[in-house]
Structure 1
């Protein structure tokens, strides 16, 4: 690419007005809250660079390999069911516009908008670090939630296979874990998952936001299509892996009308537990979401935001524990009632508890290898 072209694209990025980008969820490079410099473009009256479709930004996915200093994250939030987690990647190529983890990219001085889904980081030493941390004398075994912040089976897992390496470490020492994904590529690991399931060491949840392929393509462009997730769910269930479904996030006037259909389809595919979470809009995600909403649903954008605010005490987001996942108010209560009725009608329950009694701490790697 010549220098003039690079300059044009750089200017396009800086002066960018939100515009739908094929294969991407976010519509712009929203500035992070820790950004040292920000840029704002103004039309000089000579025509926008975006009138030339070739200049519209189509950022490629760039992956940076990094060495993690630690890999197990601890959590004590009262409204989250797990106490520790492992995230093999930072950023997520799925590009889900609603992802609550987008603001975490601001800590890297990157945009929670397009950078979150195009500037990714792979923790290539994740399996090694995990083995070392599990081998520590004071480690107390408790189920690990795999890939909570960003999806462990996002497309770049095909290349890096970090998630597979982490699972192999957990398998070798009989350590229980759960994971949630929206990528059907998890079926490539069905054999090891099935083996661990026989020992009560694993459960899998699939996130299903919609059954509408067109809505899914706009809202979560590089995640597996809804029917592919249901097929993967069936494959794992038939292999003996306990499977559940998360209807997440539920968004007023966008996908809330599908709650009952999603639960029915998931139960048919083998899911035996179910949950839901309302749309959460922390920090910069408020702007990312509003940009997307105005682009794709300009006719109802204000109504959608009004309902979201009604469930969040008049704000875009209520971050208080006990409120952020479920909201409050009449519309939130209606969603909960509908979900509970469908949950009972289809006979959902709880997945089996994971077994921590089998855990055997791995040996720390030594220069003498395994000679003794």
Structure 2
């Protein structure tokens, strides 16, 4: 039902007339409710609605909810939280964030779904279409419509996985699949693909008076969400700044560059240094780590750490200070396939690469080495 996307105070207002549109249980039967798509234009609140859906499912069930998204996109457009929902709520512990980079990660997850000992009460995929890159899909399938083929195959895997879970007789409840995607005007071919695999499609449309309309398909039944009501009901921690630093592994101290950068926003320097050093203790000292710190106006912060760039590792392995100014003509140094393999194993631990195969990471590193003018040998002569 439509009220699954809203907190209880909004859902309750449907029957009182504050938000028009009466939705009954027959409007969306349980079979249709198992697999759904939420489609809408950019910046209309899709991710926030998905997160509210995840919160509602986690609160109503003893099982977990899996929320699949791209980490970088999620950090750039954090979802709103409804007023009254504390970010420290224990319910959020039941929402498992799974970060994937492309459609290969999606296929691997759902292909192994039936091997899981326990199953989530819902699987939610934010910006489903963004996982499919045109060029990669076209090269993989040798077809100009490779992206469509890749989406169809992944949707088939998704539906098979959900049907398998819901077909097991010993399950306590129903596992739901909810996807979101962004549409730019009318996309008949894309909608045709989704309608083939997802029986229930919700669409967000911009109304002439500045409100949003959430409706099921082309049905005349709709729930209107006034913009003013959303602005009052939805909040997120205001961000003061995003700080990007390069800090040696295990050597964060309340001194430059860390001290001045964090001190101007009155952040807890000792807490950051302790946490950073603990996260990076597995790396050799002096290894430059890229840190992205999100400073909030309430003087709290979050941060992410990435291992050094591939070029840094390649220069260390080759023993050079910089790459060739004329790659392909002037050789700047030599490395072996063993070096490539060892670098790939380290980079695979990064959040953006953990679902990529070692082979694909190795190929990417070889391409970077060639661009630096490095000669890749099977073994040192």
TM-score, normalization by structure 2 = 0.26
Q: Which structure: greater helix fraction?
A: 2
Which one has the largest radius of gyration? 2
Counting strand residues as a fraction of each chain, which structure ranks higher? 2
